[in-house]
């Protein structure tokens, strides 16, 4: 249908059935719960093959000839509630398995599972001197125009966020971390070099590259800002910590993509449960779009309290700028 938004999701599933569960039990359970979904079910060669959207998707298949399933399917559609029904099917059959690992390329499974649990993030007030100073600075920012250097950063980012208070604070802190005092000191090579030195989460993001600087600058800026402006629990400032501290690596990824998608209008798929938790928390207070997208916006106090509550959940505490040695 013209003008209809179609999305795609590739779901990967792998698991071992419990010893007392046969392929026939899996088959009957699947067929029982698939009845509510608009689909076509085929049974052939000890396999159940399910097609959706008039065959426009890769089929969902369960091989019942052994106690192991290992497959994927691709859903294309305009009604995400149908995808959620498919997720419900996996939730129903999960008790039949010793272990059933489910992932997808958009993070929608993780988000859906998280949405069905109580929210772990608590809205809190500002508590530290650094947070109070951040709020004061945000209020001052709201009364002033961007400086020349801020304009350079903002034009390079090419973002149009609704959370303007957070956006302005990040840009200012980034400028202080990089010690940029004039437009001539905005040096992309130095930003790329520092991003790679941080090794923020290089197995997920890959190395920063000059050839795609404009496309990835927003992520580089956030990696640098998070690394040099926050401490993790009782361990100290993030840039001085190894990634193998329990929870740090996954929290950094959640912070990076959560800030990007919730506050800066740079939407990204859910990358882990912590990111999904942040999104759920925001959606409890702000309206969401057809595919669950939410962007925090409001007055300075509201934005900052939301932001710091999320960072607090991740174990991050704002401590101000910790400049790298140059």
Shared domain check, 303 and 157:
yes
The fraction of the chain above a pLDDT of 90, given in percent, is: 43
Domain limit, last residue, from 70, 105, 140: 105
Shared domain check, 86 and 145:
no
Q: How far is 303 from 318, CA to CA, in rounded Å?
A: 15
CATH of the domain at 59: 3.60.90
Shared domain check, 171 and 80:
no
pLDDT at 306 over 70: yes
173-194 average pLDDT score:
94
String of DSSP letters for 105-122: TTSHHHHHHHHTS-----
Shared domain check, 241 and 150:
yes
Shared domain check, 285 and 248:
yes
pLDDT at res. 313: 96
Domain extent, residue 193, equals 129-318
The total of structural domains in the chain comes to: 2
pLDDT at 233 over 80: yes
Q: Where are the beta strands (DSSP E) in the chain?
A: 7-17, 39-44, 47-52, 60-63, 68-77, 97-104, 230-232, 236-237, 316-318
99-116 average pLDDT score:
82
Shared domain check, 242 and 168:
yes
pLDDT at 8 over 70: yes
Shared domain check, 313 and 183:
yes
pLDDT at 64 over 90: no
Shared domain check, 285 and 148:
yes
pLDDT at 106 over 80: no
Shared domain check, 150 and 81:
no
Out of 112-116, 124-128, 157-161, 302-306, pick the least confident.
112-116
pLDDT at res. 202: 57
Domain limit, last residue, from 71, 105, 139: 105
Confidence of residue 219 (pLDDT cuts 50, 70, 90): very high
Whether 115 maps to a domain, the answer reads no
241-256 average pLDDT score:
92
Against a cut of 0.75, is the pTM above it? no
Burial class (CB in 10 A: 0-12, 13-18, 19+), 71: middle
**Average pLDDT over all residues of the chain:** 86
pLDDT at res. 5: 46
**Residue 326 structure tokens:** 């140059």
Whether 120 maps to a domain, the answer reads no
Shared domain check, 157 and 49:
no
Domain limit, last residue, from 105, 140, 166: 105
């Amino acid at each position: 249908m013209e003008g209809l938004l179609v999305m795609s999701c590739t779901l990967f599933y792998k698991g071992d059935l419990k010893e007392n569960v046969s392929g026939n039990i899996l088959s009957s359970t699947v067929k029982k719960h698939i009845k509510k979904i608009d689909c076509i079910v085929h049974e052939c060669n000890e396999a159940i093959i399910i097609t959706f959207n008039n065959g426009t998707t890769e089929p969902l298949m369960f091989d019942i000839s052994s106690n192991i399933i290992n497959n994927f399917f691709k859903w294309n559609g305009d009604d995400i509630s149908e995808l959620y029904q498919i997720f419900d099917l996996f939730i129903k059959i999960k008790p039949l398995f010793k272990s059933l690992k489910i992932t997808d390329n958009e993070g929608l499974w993780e988000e859906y599972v998280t949405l069905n649990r109580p929210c772990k993030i608590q809205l809190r007030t500002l508590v530290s001197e650094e947070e109070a100073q951040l709020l004061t600075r945000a209020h001052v920012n709201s009364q002033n125009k961007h400086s020349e250097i801020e304009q350079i950063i903002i034009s390079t980012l090419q973002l149009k966020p609704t959370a303007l208070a957070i956006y302005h604070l990040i840009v200012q802190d980034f400028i202080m971390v990089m010690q940029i005092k004039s437009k001539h000191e905005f040096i992309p090579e130095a930003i790329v070099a520092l991003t790679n030195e941080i090794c923020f989460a290089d197995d997920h993001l890959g190395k920063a590259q000059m050839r795609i600087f404009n496309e990835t600058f927003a992520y580089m800026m956030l990696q640098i800002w998070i690394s040099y402006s926050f401490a993790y629990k009782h361990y100290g400032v993030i840039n001085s910590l190894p990634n193998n501290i329990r929870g740090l690596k996954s929290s950094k990824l959640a912070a990076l993509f959560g800030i990007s998608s919730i506050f800066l209008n740079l939407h990204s798929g859910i990358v882990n449960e912590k990111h999904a938790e942040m999104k759920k928390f925001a959606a409890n207070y702000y309206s969401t779009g057809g595919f669950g997208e939410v962007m925090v916006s409001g007055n300075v106090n509201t934005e900052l309290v939301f932001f710091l509550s999320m960072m607090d959940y991740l174990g991050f505490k704002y401590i101000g700028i910790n400049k790298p040695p140059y």
